[in-house]
Structure 1
Amino acid sequence: MKRPGPLLTLLAGLLLAAFMLSLNATTGTRNTSARTTKESPAPTVSPTPSRTTPPPSPSQSPVPVPDAGYAGRTDDDSAAVAVNLRDGRAIAYFCDGRDRESWLKGDVNDDGTMRLTGKDGSVLSGTLERSREWGRIRGTVDVDGGHHAFTADRTKKPSGLYRATATVRGARVEGGWIVLPDGRQVGVLTREGRPSPAPWIDPGTGAVTVDGRQLTALPAAP
């Protein structure tokens, strides 16, 4: 049997060398990729800044209902209405200047609404107009079976609501007066429960003469 010649031996060596080079190249690439993957640092994620919610702005303090007086006429011009406010309370007076009158009292809500009642069953429902800086009351009065809408504007002295009580010549006397912003006066004087038109008072001093006796009418307080 003949031995392979030198040419075959050389060819076998070349094939073996080519195979080894190919194997080394593949192994090197895998090792490099593995090292790169292993050694690559994790990407740095910048922290998302937290959103700071601004504190809610404090609500605007409500404008308090003022201590003030209001006076005006009913819409049908048949009577007058006056209201005095103090410390969240109200006193009101309705009168026609002849023989119809009613005193009413009650609370005033923070929003300017009020429901005042009288001993005779009368009811005044009113609202202070905030848009006018509490300068006007719009409402209705139910008294003696009648329903009267009214408007009362804020007063300045000597306009306003006045009241006087006394015993004159053995009779119980009670008077109520509304001095309107234009100076007109509307009032009723009751003697032992019998109403009649009230005499004129001096708005500056409150002085009034009843059956020969001088009395002093004072601003009505709730």
Structure 2
Amino acid sequence: MKRPGPLLTLLAGLVLGLFLLTLDATTGTKPASSPYEERSPTPAPARSAASPAPSPTPSPSRLPAADADYAGRTDDDAASIAVSVRDGKAIAYFCDGRTKESWLKGDVGADGTLRLTGKNGAKLDGTLEDGKVIDGTVDVGGGHHAFTADRAKKPSGLWRATATVRSAKIDGGWIVLRDGSQVGIVTRDGEPSPAPRIDPRTGVVTVDGQQLTARPATP
């Protein structure tokens, strides 16, 4: 019997190759991805909105001194004192009702401190507490006095009258206290003497036979 020749062997190889090619197409093997293949960017995680930092609480500004009048006595009961405060300014009057007096003026600090000065080295140092009372010291004519002046209610407070009577220059100061008592001095051409009483409702006062009108004294 004659053996198959080379042609038969070649034919068998061709059939095997076709079989393998058909198998590869059926299984659908996926080629490897190219390292340069464009990829969809991964979305960044949503950032939570940061709460704004709380604003620092401003320190409360100090309130200005209350505009009012204050009147009282020195602790040694030697004299009276009245203070009038307006718009951060102050005027004060120290009076013993006989011959010693002094007008003082100055500023009121934002913390309620008073530093007032007058003639001949007179000075007043005080503190306004809660708009109700002034505690302090006053130096006048070589004397040093502690004092307390409470907030005054009309007609109590500080009064002043200036005029010319019989060619004399008149300057009068009065302190009306809460109990209705009055302390005052009238100077005639610089000479002090006890002042006559004023009408606290109207301020009317008679000096040397002439009627004058005292008015509330303010800075």
TM beyond 0.5: yes
Unpaired runs of at least 5, structure 1: 1-43
**RMSD of the alignment, in Å?**
1.8
- 2:146 paired residue among 149, 154, 158: 149
Describe the superposition over 1:80-113 as per-residue Cα deviations: whole angstroms up to 9, x where unpaired: 0000011111000000001100000001111100
Whether contact under 8 Å (2:64, 2:88) holds in the other structure is no
5 Å-filtered alignment, 1:1-222, equals: 52-130=52-130, 134-222=131-219
Cα shift at 1:66: 1.5
For residues 51 and 91 of structure 1, what CA distance do their matches in structure 2 show?
A: 53
TM-score (norm 2): 0.76
For residues 135 and 164 of structure 1, what CA distance do their matches in structure 2 show?
A: 27
Whether contact under 8 Å (1:112, 1:129) holds in the other structure is yes
AA partner of residue 73 (structure 1) = R
Cα shift at 1:64: 2.2
For residues 166 and 47 of structure 2, what CA distance do their matches in structure 1 show?
A: 94
Unpaired runs of at least 5, structure 2: 1-43
Cα shift at 1:45: 9.5
For residues 219 and 84 of structure 1, what CA distance do their matches in structure 2 show?
A: 9
AA partner of residue 111 (structure 1) = D
For residues 62 and 123 of structure 1, what CA distance do their matches in structure 2 show?
A: 25
For residues 194 and 114 of structure 1, what CA distance do their matches in structure 2 show?
A: 29
Secondary structure of the residue that 1:127 maps to in structure 2?
strand
Whether contact under 8 Å (1:115, 1:125) holds in the other structure is yes
Secondary structure of the residue that 2:119 maps to in structure 1?
coil
TM-score (norm 1): 0.75
- In structure 2, the partner of 1:37 is none
Identity of aligned residues (%): 68
**Corresponding residue pairs, total:** 177
Whether contact under 8 Å (1:102, 1:120) holds in the other structure is no
For residues 104 and 64 of structure 2, what CA distance do their matches in structure 1 show?
A: 22
For residues 138 and 148 of structure 2, what CA distance do their matches in structure 1 show?
A: 11
